[in-house]
Amino acid sequence: MDVNTNSGCSARAERKQQEKARIIQREKQRQTVKTVSRLLQKAEAERTPEDRALLQEHRDTVQELSRRHSRRALLKRKQEEVFDDAESLKAKVRQMAEALQQAKHVVIYTGAGISTAASIPDYRGPNGVWTQLQKGRSVSASDLSRAEPTLTHMCIWMLHKVKMVQHVVSQNCDGLHLRSGLPRHALSELHGNMFIEVCDSCSPAREFIRLFDVTERTALHRHGTGRLCPHCRAQLRDTIVHFGERGTLEQPLNWKGAAEAAEQADLILCLGSSLKVLKKYSCLWCMNRPANKRPKLYIVNLQWTPKDTLATLKIHGKCDAMMGLLMEELGLGTPVYNRSQDPIFSLAKPLSPQEQKSHTREEIAPPAALEDASPDTQAQGEATAVQGGWFGRGYTKARRKKKTV
C-alpha cells in the first residue's frame, strides 16, 4: 500500500517537474526571441561584438524572424492599393476593348468592389469589413436596400444587352445586378440575394422577391425569415450563403448556369473581386484544360489577387472609372440607372396583411413615393443604422478573439 502511494506521489512530482521545465524553456525561448528581435533592429554598424556573437549563437531564431518579417512585408504589399496612371489605364482599356470585340463567349465575375460606389463596403479593401475588424474597429451596417446600381452594374447590363457579355457570376448579395435589369437566366448570384426568400418545401422551390432586405432575422446556419409560404404554410428562408456554408438552392445561386458559362467562355473578366473565395470554385476556371486552352483572364482590382500571374491583363483602377472608359472605347453610351425601370418593382410579391409587421427594414420606395417623400424624411432614413442579417452577422468569423500567448 505504502509502496503504491509513494510511487503515485513520485509520478505526480515528476510530471509537475517536467511541466515546470517546459514552462521555463518556453519563457527562455520567448526572451531569446525578444532579444534577437531587438538586436536585428539595430543597424549593422551599431552592433557590438557581443551582439554579433549572440546572433551567431541563435542563427535558427534569426532565420525564423527573417521569414516572419518577409511574410509580413509580403502581406502588406498585397493589401496595398495600386493605381495605374491615366495613360496606362487608357492603353489597358483599349486592349480590353479589342479582346471583348474578338471574344465569342464572355463571362464576368463580380465582387464587392463594384458596389463600393453605392456606399456598400467591400471586405478586404483599406476600409473593408475584414480590414476594420482585424484592426479592432467596429463595423456598423446601414440598410443596404437604399443602395442603387452603380455605373459598373449598368455598363454590365448594357454589354449583355448588346450581346458582348453572355453571363454574369456574382459573389454579391446586394441584388444590384437584378435591379440593373440583367435577366435572371444570365445571372448567377452564388452567395444569394438579400431581396429573395424561398420555400424549399415546395417542389420546385418557390421564390418570393421582396422590396426589403429579408435577412433581418437570419444568420449563419439560421435562415428562417419568420414568414410562411402562402401555398404550403412552411417557413420561408433566405438565400444567403454565409462563410462556412455550402449553397444548395438552385436559384438565385444558379450554379448550373455559372458552370456552363465558364465551360463555354473564351474570356473571363473579373471586376472588383479579391478572388480569394472564387479561386476555390474550380468549375469556374477550367483548370482541367491545358493552359493554352483556358479562357483569357482579365482582372480589374486595386489590390493583389491570387490569379494575377494567370491573367492576360491586370488593370489597377476603380471599376466605375474603368467601365466608363471601356464603354467610350466600344462606342457605347454610358447607361444611367432609372428607378422607374427597376425590374424589382414588377417582380416583387407583396406581403399579406398579416405579414405587414413581420419586418422593420425600410422598403425600396417606388419612383412616385420617392418624389412625394420630404427631404427631412429621406435624411432621417439615411441616418438610421441597422444590425443583423447577412451583412450585420455575416462577418462574425472575424470577431473571434486571438488566443493570448
Q: Cβ of 348: how many Cβ atoms within 10 Å?
A: 19
Cα(319)–Cα(326) distance, rounded to whole angstroms? 10
* Residue 328 C-beta-side C-alpha neighbours within 13 Å: 11
- Write the CA distances from 115 to 42, 97, 119, 131, 190, integer angstroms: 45, 22, 7, 17, 16
**How many Å separate Cα 131 from the centre of its chain?**
12
Q: Is 155 flagged in the annotation as binding?
A: no
Q: Coil, helix or strand for 267? A: strand
Residue 299 burial by Cβ neighbours in a 10 Å radius (0-12, 13-18, 19+): buried
Q: Is 283 flagged in the annotation as binding?
A: no
| Contact between residue 296 and residue 96 where contact means Cβ atoms under 8 Å apart | no
Q: Is 270 flagged in the annotation as binding?
A: no
Catalytic residue among 167, 191, 316, 359: 191
Cα(263)–Cα(295) distance, rounded to whole angstroms? 9
Residue 191 designated active-site: yes
Q: Which residues pair with 168 in a beta bridge?
A: 108, 187
Query: Beta strands of 93-133 (E only): which ranges?
Result: 106-110
Cα(150)–Cα(143) distance, rounded to whole angstroms? 17
Q: Is 202 flagged in the annotation as binding?
A: yes
Query: Which region holds residue 286: left if phi is over 0, alpha if psi is between -120 and 50, else beta?
Result: left
Binding residue positions for Zn(2+): 199, 202, 229, 232
Binding residue positions: 199, 202, 229, 232
Q: Which positions are catalytic? A: 191
